[in-house]
Amino acid sequence: MGVFKKAAVALILIAFSQGGLAQGRLSYWEFGPFVGTLSSSSEIATDPIPNIFREARPQIGVQAEYFFGPYIGIGGNVNLGWIYAADENHTNVRRGLEVRSSLATAELHLTVNLWSYGRFRRATHWVPYFALGGGVAAVQTYNYGSQYTPSNTTFTEGTTMNGILNFGIGAKFKLSLTQGLAIELNGSIMHSDRLEGFRYDGVENAPDIYGGLRVRYSFMSILKRGTY
């Protein structure tokens, strides 16, 4: 069983175990939109840290989560983002290649608050958290400006479907009893090596990585009346 399947099974088992232990009066929903940035690490973006702002592109999405209590929740999001990288900013300047990719992703994840937080924790105004999950990404890639094409390179422009593992760390802040703001560093590891739109023949390249900063507004709602 591959690592992506193992991760999915683990998330499902954890979700069911928490569902059985859930305290109904403390459960609640969080849902809302987010915006942010995206950068990548790939065959073009070989030096991503110095170029994290120069090559950053936007992402937008919406997320919903169900919390069984003050600590653990499961959720999902859909996301649209853009990736840009250019050889002139990295280590292969002579090749002169640029890549522009757009991504549409759907993810499921498990979120863990590091201390008690939620719709019914009025005294707790913020909490750090981490999230782990996975999903699929549809990637549309275009390459521009190549001055030459090495003999061992095959371009694979177009749309591809890719499995992803997703992780995030961040902090949530209460704006009111029912509203919150989250700031999260989020990253994804792709199952394939297709983010930049080309591959080296006969070479197993490392999976591509992309991620960035997300800022999310959330509305917290009880499941039913009488759960205060």
Give a yes or no: residue 158 inside a domain. yes
Give a yes or no: residue 123 inside a domain. yes
Low-confidence ranges of the chain (pLDDT < 50): 15, 18-23, 226-228
Domain tally, the chain: 1
What pLDDT does residue 22 have? Answer: 47
CB-based contact 165:2 (threshold 8 Å) = no
CA distance 31 to 70: 16
Q: Which residues does 192 contact at the CB level (< 8 Å), separation at least 6?
A: 160, 162, 163, 207, 208
State the residue range of the domain holding 55. 3-222
Give a yes or no: residue 118 inside a domain. yes
Give a yes or no: residue 227 inside a domain. no
Give a yes or no: residue 228 inside a domain. no
Give a yes or no: residue 184 inside a domain. yes
Residue 112 sits at the vertex; the CA angle it makes with 6 and 161, to the nearest 5 degrees, is: 40
What pLDDT does residue 8 have? Answer: 52
Give a yes or no: residue 185 inside a domain. yes
What pLDDT does residue 152 have? Answer: 64
What pLDDT does residue 90 have? Answer: 74
Phi, psi torsion values for 153, nearest 5 degrees: -115, 135
What pLDDT does residue 127 have? Answer: 94
What pLDDT does residue 161 have? Answer: 86
Q: What is the CATH number of the domain that holds 169?
A: 2.40.160.20
- A 10 A CB-CB count for 147 gives 9
Instruction: Give pTM, 2 decimals.
Output: 0.79
Lookup: tokens for 203: 């070479």
